[in-house]
Chain A
């Protein structure tokens, strides 16, 4: 074997002996075997979560680009179609999600201070707000089905729920169809993320109940919080873009 001055086998201060051979000192129970310390583990979690969220931004980005392209191609149809959405329900959901972001932030703070009751209460509230959002969304979707505003063979077949603009310009109806397709795709993908988020919070709640989250180690709680805030922020972009952009055209009902 050739000489190897490349790496001297020295145990560095922060990087102690291996998990298996390091019987000497006690590890934190939350420390995985392949990390040297909690700090390294947390750094990894933070990097990993942000990289995941960047990935999510690109994923939603594709939908946003599609929306922007078609809005640019068919501005009138998009503006008038957006007036068919239920702004009060959308606004209610915006408020619900903003409130859930607050309770989420407080739950993470409960992790940082080590207050188990704060964690539990705030996580429950976050889950309740998340489910409330989904319930409101359900009523919105149901309304669209009843009004025949779901892209499909009977799209805009109910004159009671077609605005005068589309009655005067039936050639714009296929473009309204694209708007509603994107509406369902974007809010649908967002709602799927909400469902995942609610499941995630339920799991985090169970872990919090076991008292896993202590000030020096509550990565899972904090990372789930990042995810939750991200899903909220997506909605903060979706709401004005989909619901409000055509508002000034009037004829809103």
Chain B
């Protein structure tokens, strides 16, 4: 668990590059339905965690730098244009002013990936050519996932064809809410197959699943069906990533690893906008899953405004003075 990877020299951040890819397994309902999630106990753990771990000074700077490499820099808006996406990609390549990166001894840092709608994949791939930064596409009728299944599968294939190396799919929440686990498993399996070599992040839309128990079950079933990553939210649900939900999902990941030997990644998305939050998430991962998961092949933040706050904190670390937003380039 203490194995470390020099991500700066690793050419790609895809999981299959370093880890054997989760091949999935038969649906094991005894396992999935046997999981328990005690909400108040989980909330207590989540609530006290920020008080149990604190990262200061150089350590904080290093952790924040790490967080940058874990960000799926994202734009998922109806008004996205090629220009907007190019600008975002430029930010992904140079997430922090180079003088600051020099000062902390981490030049050449990039974000983990850029995440866009299908239509913007080509533009993003072009804009990131030669950087090793993968493009992730949200496919499958994002965010509701209610278009016909064959169209959702086709969308995945189109995105992969367009150059997306990561596909963020959304599960059909109704399968979870109606306890139709077989359907959830089958759908996930088909989507994984449609992804081919592109790696697949399963968005559970936890804010719409009703209970933490459902989150735990859906997490396990998606992993059984071959998800490379499980992800909390589309960012469009009323409640997005939270610490309790994260705790449930990463405990499912831990258990899946214990039982199968395969490491599945985790991506909280939506609502993480402060550097401090990012540190709490990283310590949560470190505590519950171990250091191995603190690398871009196994952990990502789905975030758009987090980077800005991290930049300000890094400048504060370097200069000792609190920073201002306009001093840092927008994405």
Q: Do A and B bind each other?
A: no
Interfacial residues, chain B to chain A (CB-CB below 8 A):
none
Which A residues are closer than 8 A to B by beta carbons?
none
